[in-house]
Amino acid sequence: MTLSVSRPKTSTFVPQKYELYLNQFMSERIFTIDPYNPVDIFGVNDHNLDILREYFPKLKIIVRGEMLKAIGDEQELSVFTEKYDLLMMHFDRFGKVTPPDISLIMENEDKSFAERGSKGNDILVFGREGMHIKARTQNQQRMVDSIAVNDMVMAIGPAGTGKTYTAVALAVRALKNKEVKRIILTRPAVEAGENLGFLPGDLRDKLDPYLQPLYDALRDMLPHQKLLTYFEDNTIEIAPLAFMRGRTLDNAFVILDEAQNATQGQLKMFLTRMGKSAKFVVTGDITQIDLPKNQKSGLVEASIILKNIPGIEIIWLDEKDIIRHKLVTMILRAYDRKTED
């Protein structure tokens, strides 16, 4: 956010000892850094800030806590504001700012320069500490390509194939690109041998263990303070599937994880929550259904009855998509052989 305070200007040079007097005839603009950590933007010992000052020697640039103030000529301030906004856009997209980044942004006249990020390459999100997050297998790339042309994608496959991680990356990219206004992540509160009533704590404490994979993915992709802000203002919402009933989800990227543990009624309820300008991704592994034996998986049913509907694509991932330790592939093969026997 930027605040601007205009003051009368003067073209007369005044010696440095009259600096306080000069400030009365200058304009100033105030920029809030929150929710970012100032060190992430301005560098250790304000090294990045010193580089900024070198590019704008006519401005007085002051940082106090989470606020930056620039004082000087109105025209110079306009240029600084434009470049500063590009710098923040770069940080929001890439998760870091380096001295070479600052130089490129300051010296490049093309205003779209800082927006080029993931365009023109296969990187979905620049995560924390510059991590490159992208599709790593053919079927993960199919998920990326499919969500561009379909409003609903179902990704079904075994553990370790990156279904959830890729889906969260697509959601974060959509949010950063302002394609959606919020992200909603949900999953059934059903796990093997577990029951919410036997877990300690309040409802949030009981649910958090089930949602941990979603938290882990988000932590990889967003700065800590930014993520906390998104949780506080509900830009990112994480909730159990039962809480979706009765809602209409507009302008949102919605992910249902572990959908194999949704009953037929629950999955139908979820899929019909789709509102305007929404994207839905459903992920699950139909070989790991933890529902009681008398309940059928909604994901199995949906994969059959929805496969020919335009706007919905069902992507089947397999052992070739496993990106965890190589032993995971061997373990799954061993269990598949036992099932066949």
- The CATH number assigned to the domain with range 123-340 reads 3.40.50.300
Phi-psi region of 45 (alpha: psi -120 to 50; beta: other; left: phi over 0): left
Helix (H, G, I), strand (E, B) or coil at 132: strand
CB 217 within 8 A of CB 168: yes
Rounded distance, CA 309 to CA 311, Å? 6
Instruction: For strands 132-134 and 279-284, give the pairing.
Output: unpaired
Reported in sequence order, the residue ranges of 6-151 that DSSP labels E, i.e. its strands, are: 27-32, 60-64, 67-72, 123-126, 132-134
pLDDT of residue 87: 86
Mean pLDDT of successive 10-residue segments in the chain (341 residues)? 44 50 69 77 87 91 86 88 85 76 78 48 73 84 93 93 93 92 88 50 64 87 88 90 90 95 94 95 93 91 93 91 74 73 59
- The CATH number assigned to the domain with range 2-115 reads 3.30.1370.10
pLDDT of residue 94: 67
Residues 6+ apart with CB under 8 A from 2: 29, 30, 31, 81, 85
> Does the CA dihedral 232-282-176-39 come out positive or negative?
positive
pLDDT of residue 214: 86
Rounded distance, CA 257 to CA 36, Å? 29
The total of other beta-carbon atoms located within 10 Å of residue 141's CB is: 14
Rounded distance, CA 156 to CA 285, Å? 6
CB 238 within 8 A of CB 232: no
pLDDT of residue 175: 93
Rounded distance, CA 236 to CA 210, Å? 17
Cα–Cα–Cα angle for 135, 215, 222, nearest 5°? 65
Rounded distance, CA 230 to CA 223, Å? 11
pLDDT of residue 191: 52
pLDDT of residue 206: 64
Task: Please choose, from the candidates 115, 66, 106, 61, the residue with its C-alpha nearest in 3D space to the C-alpha of residue 83.
Answer: 106
Residue the block writes with tokens 């609903």: 152
pLDDT of residue 106: 86
Residue the block writes with tokens 């499919």: 146
DSSP per-residue string spanning 267-281: HHHHHTTB-TT-EEE
pTM over 0.85: no
pLDDT of residue 101: 82
Domain ranges of the chain: 2-115, 123-340
